[in-house]
Structure 1
Amino acid sequence: MASIASSEAAVTVDVHAGRGLVDAGHKYLDVRTPEEFKRGHLQNAINVPYVFFTPQGKKKNPEFLEQVSLNCNKDDHIVVGCQSGARSITATEELLKFGFKNAKNMGGGFAAWVENGLPVKPLQEELY
């Protein structure tokens, strides 16, 4: 008999299931850095970085939960993605612990999304 996972255990879906959820109205939370996000992202994605890459290495965004809360309610259905799926699984687990009941991780991240030929909002030109 399978054991029941704790409430913080993140569910991971593949990019095709992720696309189906987004097409059905789930919010897509992109936890990559703004620089990564500008190179291409899903249409209507919400960008809240989970970590920043600094000269000293990776630094967790101290305002991550606060910034997500400004864009999403705890009852919203959310698909969380990053570049490859590593940051998003950790971010999804943190969201679940914080009370976001319907957050799911998208395995493979943006890289797998692109590799599977799924639609991407193209690079945006800088406005200055």
Structure 2
Amino acid sequence: MSTPQPLGVEGFLAEARSELDRVSPARADELRRRGALLVDIRPHHDRLAEGEVPGSVVVERIVLEWRLDPNGAHRIPGFTSDTPVVVLCNEGYASSLAARDLRRIGLARATDLVGGFRAWAAAGLPVRPGGTPAIT
């Protein structure tokens, strides 16, 4: 039996992104205003220093799949398997991997924000002070 060749992080990221219809900050804002769930997976210190997207839900990456499994016993309320979900991190790398994983557990409309929170803020979109406690 042969061992598969490692993809390396760039290949792993490209593979994840090939499964996503990634969105721009403007499109993410439109989706947010139409009821999409924006999920912020950034560490507390980044959110505290840079702010957060109004209406976003802060979920620790370590529990993301458990809190967003549409049929899971530990899911947060307020969404279904049909809800559009936009995951954001600092710059749009970790969020691509997270969104791919959410699609695999049943959120077919999960994607991520190109450029992450920093692209959102640079586009002049609304930002609230950071520090919201994460869902753990």
Normalising by structure 2, what TM-score?
0.71
Q: Cα offset for 1:33? A: 1.5
Normalising by structure 1, what TM-score?
0.75
> In structure 1, what residue type is equivalent to 2:105?
F
Which structure: greater helix fraction? 2
> Unmatched 5+ residue regions in structure 2?
1-17, 70-74
Q: Cα offset for 1:29? A: 0.6
Q: Which residue of structure 2 aligns with residue 111 of structure 1? A: 118
Could you tell me how far apart the structure 2 residues matched to 1:25 and 1:93 are?
20
Q: Deviations over 1:15-39 (max 9, x none)?
A: 1111111111111011112232233
Over the residues paired in the alignment, what is the CA RMSD in angstroms? Answer: 2.4
Q: Which residue of structure 2 aligns with residue 101 of structure 1? A: 108
Q: Name the CA shift for 1:124/1:99 in 2 (closer, same or farther; >3 Å).
A: closer
Could you list the structure 1 runs, at least 4 aligned residues long, displaced by more than 3 angstroms after superposition.
123-126
> Unmatched 5+ residue regions in structure 1?
1-7, 51-60
Matched positions, count: 110
